[in-house]
A and B are shown apart, each in its own frame.
Chain A
Amino acid sequence: MSLFGEVPQATPVAVFKLSNDFKEDPNPMKVNLGVGAYRTDEGQPWVLPVVKKVEKIIVADNSLNHEYLPILGLPEFRSSASKIALGEDSPAIQENRVGVGAVQCLGGTGALKMGAEFLRRWYNGNDNMKTPVYVSAPTWENHNSVFANAGFEDIRPYKYWDAEKRGLDLAGFLGDLETAPKHSIFVLHACAHNPTGTDPTHVEWMQVAEVMKRRKLFVFFDSAYQGFASGCLDKDAWAVRYFVTQGFEMFCAQSFSKNFGLYNERVGNLTIVACDADNVKRVLSQMEKIVRVTWSNPPSQGARLVAITLNTPELFAEWKDNVKTMADRVLLMRASLQAKLQALGTPGTWDHITQQIGMFSFTGLNPKQVEYMIKERSIYLMASGRINMCGLTTKNIDYVAESIHETVVNVQ
């Protein structure tokens, strides 16, 4: 008789199962458009040149060791990472109208986790699990789990993706903001919405901000693709910075997995904007307690890499260049795919491929069509129809375009 006799087999996390199935597929034409990691035009992972450089610097520096970082992480990482999100010259920061703090976390997931745990304990009362948490429909599938595991009992969708027009459902979004209970938490994608690749325009963000301010809703940005969307860090941070100018106290979960290509080093930062330094101080002291019972202190390697890069002008410039390289390749693949589908005369409109931004595209393929793509064409994509543009290369784009064409024509 085992204590664990009743433990059921859990369903595997979809995106990792997809990669697994891809790996086991013997078809030489197979294409993996699943998990969100950058690939070169050779279909290979890419360790950024600047990262290689900085790794050499670290190895050569004998003064470095493997000692524990402080609970909240490497100070020079935290401050430079927050600056990336909020802007060096943020007027709010310069004029001390806000206090800014940060917690180094394990990737974007870890930052969301810390923010969620803190909010559950200290926001809208104490240990209030009933505060509604709104996540976009659709959203990154782990958002739900992060907040649920932090104890929140009421996680709801807010309208976001309009499947028919293949764009933002602004009216629906604003409508949900208007009817959400006061103090509800809203998880907003800072840029390059995952999975749809559809971002609000500046004007639309301003409308969102107006409602959120008026209705006292909590702003929790998820920023996993800064730099990756447009190729420009500042452009991609527009929404976050705009909200700061509007006086919001907010959280911003940052990931350096994609824009630094540091996926497995787990480099993330939770940036906290509060109305003054004293509030930040107390918030950070409570964050320490949460960190201590979760991972004690964060891993040092990735944070060191990022800190050295961001704080050394030549390296910082090189990094921005590397980021642009990645973003540009994605933009090129978008343009190529759209052009090819158009040339093939594939039924439907395909402008959304170039209008969407970032790593992902919501193709609009339905589950049956997705299944066909996987089974008949060995092209692996998420059941939602999400494709990772990075999985496309000049060598496979024709095969993919033809496959989409064949699928759309034959499967309804």
Chain B
Amino acid sequence: MALLKSSKIISTVGVHPPLGVLSIRASSWWSEVQMGPPDPILGVSEAYKRDTNPKKMNLGVGAYRDDQGKPYVLSCVRKAEAQIAAKKLDKEYLAIGGLGDFTKACAKLALGDDNEVIKSGRNITVQTISGTGSLRIGANFLSRFHTGARDVYLPKPSWGNHTPIFRDAGMQLKAYTYYDPKTCGFDFQGALNDISKIPEKSVIMLHACAHNPTGVDPRLEQWKEIADLVKKRNLLVFFDMAYQGFASGDIDRDAWAVRYFIEQGHNIVLSQSFAKNMGLYGERVGGFTVVCKDAEEAKRVESQLKILIRPIYSNPPMNGARIAATILNTPDLYKEWLREVHGMANRIITMRELLVANLKKEGSTRNWKHVVDQIGMFCFTGLKPEQVERLTKEFSVYMTKDGRISMAGVTSGNVGYLAQGIHAVTK
């Protein structure tokens, strides 16, 4: 592919201007614009790219890699794409709420085919720009219509982008205890204590499965108690489900908490992403659902969601939604997808086991049980920032400062090296 020279146009942040340029121009509108800090998560990948060490590992962003460390395009995705191409469809604008075939299937995937909510039509599900776009629409919706409270309670810690999204939408951020650094596990009592104090009508964010960044999920019994307490406190539940299928390998199991809460009478709002479980990252496929009192309310809510969406991007992108809809609605492809998701989840579970085994082999005497207890793409290693810095500087292992590693970036080929590095900085 012939690329036109674009040396005069700034393609990336951080590119130096051509030599010999003199700024003799009049002053700029933008003189006071400060240089923004690099994104803590995506910035890791940028740094990784610049590193020339052949042994470098990118354990930053949560994108799945196969055992060769390569991006994995699912076979069911390729098949769906071929099917779509053969149909010779047009490129007309989607409705503001997105592709109907997609949104229906998206809701069914999360809630279960036979869910009473779907049967009674009391959910509204709109197609969104992946998980981020879904959270943003949700945040905007709550900001405008949830007059009960301004506060959103996030688990401590939570995905780094949750805070700026809600803040930018005009909500206030608070936190509830979640992760126990002593056990690298779930601080159940701490969570209950904090949740019991949350003012009524506040919004509480729950990670449906495969908590990001810790990989620590409540057990079923614990979810039940949380659901109960949240109901007592009369809180509005916002579920973020970015890893359905990715956690246990079973999509129904991973959606258990979402479905349980609804069953218990919580009218939740829910964000879904198909970035990871279908490998559709760059296609930006997601959904936002509001479970309403009844179908009439769902219609009103839908009309308002459209009003929110239109001035942001008018209507969502087709390509990824078509692929997802085709997979979800074609029995053979759906079965194949379930197998592939299971396969991805399994590889990660295997890597967890290998990492622990290799750490033991290295002679580490620390307790690494949490590495196999945690679930999903991420592992909260327990490494401190100084240790992370050493791991990056001395071993070219790239990860976020909070000690989170993306297990998806670990392969049978590099797990030994990773164990070496982790042991070196923790012994």
Contact = CB atoms under 8 A, between A and B. Distances in A.
Interface stretch (A225-233, A261-269, A349-357): A261-269
Contact of A299 (B201, B236, B306, B317): B317
Interface in B252-299: 267, 275, 279-284, 290, 292-293, 297, 299
Given A149-B311, A294-B132, A301-B283, A279 B9 contact: no
Interface in B195-248: 201, 236
Nearest to B90: A45
Given A283-B33, A292-B164, A293-B136, A7 B301 contact: yes
Interface in A268-314: 274-286, 288-289, 292-302, 308, 310-313
B28 A294 contact: no
B2 A282 contact: no
A295 B129 contact: yes
A5 interface: yes
A184 interface: no
A295 B284 contact: yes
B79 interface: no
Contacts of A275: 23, 25-28
A218 B28 CA distance: 12
A2 B73 CA distance: 42
Given A264-B91, A274-B30, A292 B9 contact: no
A207 interface: no
Contacts of A110: 312-314
Interface string A1-39: 011111111111100100000000000000000010100
A281 B12 CA distance: 8
Q: Describe B's contact surface by its main secondary structure.
A: loop
B36 A286 contact: yes
Contacts of B3: 76, 311
Interface in A125-178: 126, 142, 145-146, 148-149
A247 B145 CA distance: 44
Contact of B130 (A80, A105, A249, A295): A295
B420 to A, nearest CB: 28
B34 A282 contact: yes
Interface string B18-61: 10110101111111111110010010000000000000000001
B133 A294 contact: yes
A339 interface: no
Interface stretch (A64-72, A237-245, A401-409): A64-72
Given A106-B317, A113-B312, A295-B130, A278 B29 contact: no
A225 B18 CA distance: 32
Contacts of B28: 249, 274-276, 279
Contact of A67 (B23, B63, B136, B164): B63
A250 to B, nearest CB: 9
A294 to B, nearest CB: 6
Contacts of A72: 12-13
B130 A2 contact: no
A63 B34 CA distance: 38
B90 A47 contact: yes
Given A113-B313, A146-B311, A285-B13, A296 B293 contact: no
A355 B318 CA distance: 36
A145 B310 contact: yes
B303 A311 contact: no
A76 to B, nearest CB: 6
A263 B10 contact: no
**Looking at chain A, what size class is its interface with the partner chain?**
35 or more
Interface stretch (A89-97, A362-370, A378-386): A89-97
Given A142-B310, A278-B23, A295-B129, A5 B297 contact: yes
A2 B319 CA distance: 36
Counting chain B CB atoms within 10 Å of each CB, the highest count among A51, A70, A266 belongs to A266
B316 A266 contact: yes
Contact of A298 (B21, B26, B148, B284): B284
Contacts of B147: 6
A282 B33 contact: yes
A279 B31 CA distance: 7
Given A277-B10, A293-B168, A97 B25 contact: yes
Q: Which of A12, A67, A71, A82 is most buried by chain B, counting CB atoms within 10 A of its CB? A: A67
Contacts of A299: 129, 282-284, 317, 319-320
B23 A102 contact: no
A293 B14 contact: no
A42 to B, nearest CB: 13
B13 A7 contact: no
A65 B73 contact: yes
Shortest 5 CB-CB distances between A and B: which pairs? A277-B17, A79-B6, A106-B313, A300-B282, A285-B36
Interface of A: 2-13, 16, 35, 37, 44-45, 47, 51, 55-56, 59, 65-72, 75-76, 78-80, 82-83, 88, 93-94, 96-102, 105-107, 109-110, 113, 122-123, 126, 142, 145-146, 148-149, 218, 247, 249, 257, 261-266, 274-286, 288-289, 292-302, 308, 310-313
